């Protein structure tokens, strides 16, 4: 298994941000983390990325504990894109994307043909080749988000962590990003864990879904089983129902029935 999480608990002061979180992924699997705001999605991603040391439990990448790996070695295995990344405004798209190769190039080796090909592939795959020479300040919010995704892709890690990757994107670019994620998983065997706000996007793209509430894992399984569980209604406190528009298609959550009063 490329990623396993065993009984993870994370504590901020007196607050239990994550409690007994478990996860086991197959190569090429897309895993969605969903839940209300403050449910622990970002905390779970940061813990898997090795940025937060859990109070209990362990994260393993290819059977090795994350906190036992040097950062550069971990970066070759795992790429993490936070929700609000930052870089100098005068940096060009291509320069940003090149930063993703640092784990492979290091401080002293020059970029070789393999590195240049990875950069070209990431720019092309995210639709940014024509914008490679532009500075980040010239980009729209959606274009900037795609640039960060391209930078993560150039690491060519087999595990990709994305925190709300479709934030700031219009519907067309949301679809492009999600199709890219699916292509990475299916064609290159990349395992993807993404926190995602849109339930229906998660249902359509993910092979498995982890539903969190107040740091507690409420569900872990395939989208179809989640649709039948009734947990979306209770966890998010909404009235709705799942419908299927095409035979064999993903369940779609219809919110037309409204919100459950507090």
pLDDT for residue 1 is more than 80: no
Q: Which domain holds residue 174?
A: 3-254
pLDDT for residue 156 is more than 70: yes
| 190-221 tens-digit pLDDT | 999 999 999 999 999 999 999 999 999 999 99
DSSP per residue over the chain, as a string? --EEEEEEEEEETTEEEEEEEEEEE-TT-EEEEE-STTSSHHHHHHHHTTSS--SEEEEEETTEEGGGS-HHHHHHHEEEE-SS----TT-BHHHHHHHTTHHHHTTTSPP-HHHHHHHHHHHHHTT-GGGTTSBGGGS-HHHHHHHHHHHHHTT--SEEEEESTTTT--HHHHHHHHHHHHHHHHHH--EEEEE-S-HHHHHHH-SEEEEEETTEEEEEE-HHHHHHH-HHHHHHTB--EEE-SSTTPPPEEE-TT-BPP-
Within-domain flag for 236? yes
Phi, psi of 186, rounded to the nearest 5 degrees:
-80, -40
Within-domain flag for 260? no
Within-domain flag for 158? yes
pLDDT for residue 168 is more than 80: no
| 229-260 tens-digit pLDDT | 999 999 999 988 899 887 778 999 987 766 56
pLDDT attached to residue 93: 97
| 98-150 tens-digit pLDDT | 988 887 776 667 888 999 999 998 898 788 999 999 999 999 888 888 899 89
Within-domain flag for 27? yes
Give 220's strand partners. Answer: 210
> How far, rounded to the nearest angstrom, does the alpha carbon of residue 62 sit from its chain's CA centroid?
18
pLDDT attached to residue 259: 59
pLDDT for residue 11 is more than 80: yes
pLDDT attached to residue 245: 81
43: domain CATH number is: 3.40.50.300
Within-domain flag for 261? no
Name the token pair of 143.
């274009």
Question: Which pairs count as long-range contacts for 137-142, CB under 8 Å and 24+ apart, including other chains?
Answer: 137/89, 137/90, 139/93, 141/168, 141/169, 142/168, 142/169, 142/170, 142/173
pLDDT for residue 28 is more than 80: yes
Within-domain flag for 259? no
Read off the pLDDT band of 226 (50, 70, 90): very high
Question: How many domains does the chain divide into?
Answer: 1
Within-domain flag for 262? no
């Amino acid at each position: 298994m490329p990623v396993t999480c065993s009984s993870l608990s994370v504590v901020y002061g007196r607050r239990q941000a994550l409690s007994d979180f478990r996860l086991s992924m197959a190569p090429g699997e897309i895993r969605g983390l969903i839940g209300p705001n403050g449910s622990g999605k970002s905390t779970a991603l940061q813990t898997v990325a090795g940025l937060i040391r859990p109070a209990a439990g362990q994260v393993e990448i290819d059977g090795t504990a994350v906190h036992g790996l040097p950062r550069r070695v971990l970066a070759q295995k795992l790429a993490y894109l936070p929700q609000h990344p930052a870089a100098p405004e005068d940096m060009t798209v291509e320069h940003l994307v090149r930063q993703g190769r640092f784990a492979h190039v290091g401080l002293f080796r020059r970029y070789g043909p393999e590195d240049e090909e990875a950069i070209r592939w990431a720019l092309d795959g995210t639709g940014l080749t024509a914008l490679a020479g532009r500075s980040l300040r010239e980009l729209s919010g959606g274009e900037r988000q795609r640039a960060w995704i391209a930078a993560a892709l150039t690491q060519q890690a087999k595990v990709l962590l994305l925190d709300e990757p479709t934030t700031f994107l219009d519907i067309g670019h949301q679809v492009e990003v999600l199709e890219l994620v699916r292509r990475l998983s299916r064609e290159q065997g990349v395992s993807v864990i993404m926190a995602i706000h849109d339930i229906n996007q998660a249902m359509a793209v993910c092979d498995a879904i982890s539903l969190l509430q107040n740091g507690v894992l409420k569900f872990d399984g395939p989208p179809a089983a989640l649709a039948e569980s009734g947990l979306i209604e209770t966890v998010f406190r909404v009235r709705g129902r799942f419908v299927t528009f095409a035979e064999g298609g993903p369940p779609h959550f219809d919110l037309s029935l409204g919100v459950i009063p507090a």
